[in-house]
Chain A
Amino acid sequence: MADYKPLQFHVPEPTGRPGDEPDFTGIEIPAAGSAPRPPIDVDPSEIKELARTMIRVLNTDGVAVGPWAEDIPEDVLMHGLRSMIRTRAFDERMMTLQRQGKTSFYMKCTGEEAIAIAFQQALSKGDMHFPTYRQQGILLAQDYPLVDMINQILSNAKDPLKGRQLPILYSVRDYGFFTVSGNLGTQFVQAVGWAMASAIKGDTNIAAAWIGDGSTAESDFHAALVNASVYQPPVVLNVVNNQWAISSFQGIAGGNSATFAERAHGYGIPALRVDGNDYLAVYAVSRWAIERARRGYGPTLIEWVTYRVAPHSTSDDPSKYRPREESNAWPLGDPILRLKNYLIGRGHWSDERQTQAETEFDEEVRTATKEAESHGTMGSGSSPKEMFECVFKEMPPHLREQRQKMGV
């Protein structure tokens, strides 16, 4: 007789649910400055440890330490901080618009601002992001007009996307912002294709792919990795691990078995795991991976460790599935506060200037909102005629007929 016991089915559980105390003891946080900085042409097999540790620059005293501490120009730092404050102001205001019934939907990136913004600052004109819905910081770190963003969110007469697309799924080619799909994961592999095209054409453009922890489960994530591994195109593969995918914690995407960065190892792709709430680390690692791509050394996967402070979207209530105090207990802190304290420590900034900036951006967003609202809210001002345009380059007869039938 065999002595096998009945098998048991394993389902990962998060460390806490509503009513529990938040528990992040499982997240190991190495000291700032402890991770080595390899040369950009490093052999991936030599830096496997960088996928398990966490690259951090800002220490608890708010000082930049270690090999990843760069001499970042003051104007870059200032712009980074101001863009993060601006993004947070924008998110708050848009959330209010949704509650007022002026738009159908919104998603905030609260707590994750440093990632999109610092990465964008490290990128060059001509490069292309394939963002998810939570990288509004890419646009807000550039001079893209707020009013145009809000027009899209309101689906009004001036909506650049003509009312066809769900709010926040922007498309801004000139700003390196690929049209955002609502279908998870699909664009991660498209970014690889874009980068392959740059190499085929002999250009120097790179692509930045973006995906959430939950969405790394999608088959397209793995398709991206195998193509990136085979063709070695100039692409940076960004995984934003904000711990949650709606109500599912990162363990449901396999995060308890290996880090998301380690996914790359099976494909021989170098991978770095980074404190995503440390602006200085984000900027330095982004520059490293972007330079590596542009110099022709191939793809890099970066796992940005952060926390989704906001609800998933305006349709979500996180108090139903995670401890209420969890976001306050998040051990990597708030990216804005951390950069602010660093700049104050260096004598570049002050509490007064912080308050001033908050007021300034709050007003800027209010003014832009007012202007956008004058073009309509919640779809008003959009044209039914636009519904039939852009399905094809030239409207085929059957659509022409349908449009006529509709009388527009």
Chain B
Amino acid sequence: MPQMNMIDAIRDAMDVKMAEDDNVVVFGEDVGYFGGVFRCTHGLQEKYGTSRVFDSPINESGIVGTAIGMAAYGLRPCVEIQFADYIYPAYDQIVSEAARLRYRSAAEFTAPLVVRTPCGGGIFGGQTHSQSPESLFTHISGVKTVIVSNPYDAKGLLISAIEDDDPVIFFEPKRLYNGPFDGHHDRPAKNWSTHPMGDVPEGRYTVPIGKASVVSEGADVTILTYGTMVYVAEAAKEETGVDAEIIDLRSLLPLDIDTIVASVKKTGRCMVLHEATLTSGFGAELAAQVQERCFYHLEVPIERVTGWDTPYPHAQEWDYFPGPARVGAALKSMMEAV
């Protein structure tokens, strides 16, 4: 099977869909000739022409707004917002328009589009290249929210997202583009070629939206997480020896609640782990749902480990980032408290 990093896998997903379906178009800032600042669309313009892969003016609201118009007409736009930190000018188009077209028109008009965007920190990018705004999208009704953690899933989920008849916000943790990252920033970087999820089949396959993945089985604590934090959780599990079950949610909305509930009922402990800020983060929703469904199975309170409630700092990146030390300490305290 071909080995791919996450950039190649994402590009391959678009390539597969563009070859198969003339309605798929790709655009965004610098995505055309140059192939994107992270190279995710590299080579696509050459292959499919400027009518299907093109640069957009620097106007995020315009990118999503035009994508909605195209999608309503019958195309399947897969657009890129260069960094999730720059998605806010498009927020109105996403919240008030893409998310509601179907509802307000009784399905006369729909917006089957994908907004791909790199998110998360760990690259010394400061407050404008590091944010994790996923909960701003799960909080509104009418868009699906996906966040990937490896090349295999990235390709399969992006194909599903392009085929989906509803709008999908597709987050790509940029720190994972070239390899898994467990938060040990002082150790040599790993790449995907040695990771099983770097094996990416050729051609079309899908990973369904709304299905979580149990990446590591365990008996004592369930860790609900996604994106970069999947690897941080794995490192913390290994370093503490706590027998944690790590669930990569992959899709935040719709949420695979059955997998979550089954795991928490089994382990009796639940940690919620994300890089985004704590207050009103997606972890709050997870904690509420677990509490509603698993209350009588919980042996200790649900623990949230997240970024702090500050803007993402530059120099203090590793103080901000919820790395394996913080996760490990929380795991241990959950095991000790009874």
CB within 8 A of A406: which of B62, B311, B313, B319?
B319
CB within 8 A of B308: which of A8, A254, A315, A406?
A406
Count residues of chain B with CB under 8 A from any CB of chain A.
Answer: 39
Whether A387 contacts B126 by the Cβ 8 Å rule is no
Residues from chain A with Cβ under 8 Å of B55 in the complex: 11, 247-248, 252
Whether B51 contacts A379 by the Cβ 8 Å rule is no
Beyond A247-B30, A402-B309, is A315–B315 a contact (Cβ under 8 Å)?
no
Whether A11 contacts B50 by the Cβ 8 Å rule is yes
Residues from chain B with Cβ under 8 Å of A254 in the complex: 57
Whether A315 contacts B57 by the Cβ 8 Å rule is no
CB within 8 A of B58: which of A165, A182, A184?
A184
Whether B311 contacts A315 by the Cβ 8 Å rule is no
Whether A217 contacts B278 by the Cβ 8 Å rule is no
Beyond A164-B315, A165-B314, A387-B320, is A402–B127 a contact (Cβ under 8 Å)?
no
Whether A218 contacts B316 by the Cβ 8 Å rule is no
Q: Is A354 an interface residue (CB 8 A)?
A: no
Q: Is B152 an interface residue (CB 8 A)?
A: no
Whether B33 contacts A321 by the Cβ 8 Å rule is yes
Which B-chain residue is minimally distant from A12 (CB atoms)? B55
Whether A166 contacts B57 by the Cβ 8 Å rule is no
Residues from chain A with Cβ under 8 Å of B129 in the complex: 166, 182
Q: Is B171 an interface residue (CB 8 A)?
A: no
Whether B89 contacts A384 by the Cβ 8 Å rule is no
Beyond A387-B319, A388-B310, is A11–B32 a contact (Cβ under 8 Å)?
yes
Whether B126 contacts A382 by the Cβ 8 Å rule is no
- A231-279 residues with Cβ-Cβ distance < 8 A to B are 245-248, 252-254
Determine the main DSSP class of A at the interface with B: loop
Whether A214 contacts B58 by the Cβ 8 Å rule is yes
Residues from chain A with Cβ under 8 Å of B59 in the complex: 217-219
Query: C-beta contact mask, B302-338 vs A, less than 8 Å → 1, else 0?
Result: 0000001111011111011000000000000000000
Determine the main DSSP class of B at the interface with A: loop
Q: Is B29 an interface residue (CB 8 A)?
A: yes
- B121-140 residues with Cβ-Cβ distance < 8 A to A are 124-129
Whether A166 contacts B126 by the Cβ 8 Å rule is yes
Query: C-beta contact mask, B157-186 vs A, less than 8 Å → 1, else 0?
Result: 000000000000000000000000000000
Q: Is B56 an interface residue (CB 8 A)?
A: yes
CB within 8 A of B316: which of A215, A245, A379?
A379
Whether B57 contacts A246 by the Cβ 8 Å rule is no
Whether A11 contacts B54 by the Cβ 8 Å rule is yes
CB within 8 A of A217: which of B33, B51, B57, B311?
B57
Q: How many A-B residue pairs have CB under 8 A?
A: 133
How far apart are the CA atoms of A378 and B314 in the complex, in Å?
10
Whether B85 contacts A183 by the Cβ 8 Å rule is yes
Residues from chain B with Cβ under 8 Å of A215 in the complex: 58
How far apart are the CA atoms of A386 and B172 in the complex, in Å?
29
How far apart are the CA atoms of A245 and B89 in the complex, in Å?
18
CB within 8 A of B314: which of A183, A253, A320, A379?
A379
Whether B30 contacts A105 by the Cβ 8 Å rule is no
Q: Is B279 an interface residue (CB 8 A)?
A: yes
Whether B58 contacts A399 by the Cβ 8 Å rule is no
How far apart are the CA atoms of A248 and B29 in the complex, in Å?
8
- B5-55 residues with Cβ-Cβ distance < 8 A to A are 29-30, 32-34, 37, 50-51, 54-55
Q: Is B205 an interface residue (CB 8 A)?
A: no
Whether B57 contacts A159 by the Cβ 8 Å rule is no
Residues from chain A with Cβ under 8 Å of B295 in the complex: none
Q: Is A17 an interface residue (CB 8 A)?
A: yes
Q: Is A5 an interface residue (CB 8 A)?
A: no
Whether B127 contacts A166 by the Cβ 8 Å rule is yes
Least CB distance, A223 to chain B, in whole angstroms: 11
Residues from chain A with Cβ under 8 Å of B313 in the complex: 163-164, 386-387
By CB atoms of chain A within 10 A, which of B61, B89, B313 has the most?
Answer: B313
By CB atoms of chain B within 10 A, which of A167, A184, A220, A408 has the most?
Answer: A184
Whether A384 contacts B309 by the Cβ 8 Å rule is no
Which B-chain residue is minimally distant from A103 (CB atoms)? B124
Least CB distance, B262 to chain A, in whole angstroms: 31
Q: Is B86 an interface residue (CB 8 A)?
A: yes
Whether A248 contacts B30 by the Cβ 8 Å rule is yes
Which B-chain residue is minimally distant from A316 (CB atoms)? B37
Beyond A11-B32, A247-B34, is A399–B128 a contact (Cβ under 8 Å)?
no
Which A-chain residue is minimally distant from B36 (CB atoms)? A247
How far apart are the CA atoms of A386 and B29 in the complex, in Å?
34
Which B-chain residue is minimally distant from A389 (CB atoms)? B310
How far apart are the CA atoms of A163 and B126 in the complex, in Å?
9
Residues from chain A with Cβ under 8 Å of B51 in the complex: 8-9, 11
Residues from chain A with Cβ under 8 Å of B320 in the complex: 387
Whether B124 contacts A379 by the Cβ 8 Å rule is yes
Residues from chain B with Cβ under 8 Å of A87 in the complex: none
Whether A252 contacts B57 by the Cβ 8 Å rule is yes
Least CB distance, B195 to chain A, in whole angstroms: 25
Which B-chain residue is minimally distant from A318 (CB atoms)? B34
- A276-326 residues with Cβ-Cβ distance < 8 A to B are 315, 320-321
Least CB distance, B227 to chain A, in whole angstroms: 21
How far apart are the CA atoms of A346 and B332 in the complex, in Å?
77
Beyond A183-B85, A247-B34, is A379–B317 a contact (Cβ under 8 Å)?
yes
Which B-chain residue is minimally distant from A222 (CB atoms)? B59
Residues from chain B with Cβ under 8 Å of A184 in the complex: 58, 86
**Chain A residues within 8 Å of B, Cβ to Cβ:** 8-9, 11, 13, 17, 104-105, 155-156, 159, 162-167, 169, 181-185, 214-215, 217-220, 245-248, 252-254, 315, 320-321, 378-379, 382-384, 386-388, 391, 398-399, 402, 406, 408
- Identify 8 new A-B residue pairs, CB closer than 8 A, beyond the known A163-B315, A185-B58: A105-B126, A183-B88, A245-B58, A253-B57, A387-B320, A391-B310, A402-B309, A406-B308
Can you show 8 pairs from A to B with CB atoms below 8 A apart?
A164-B315, A169-B126, A184-B58, A217-B62, A218-B89, A248-B29, A248-B34, A248-B58
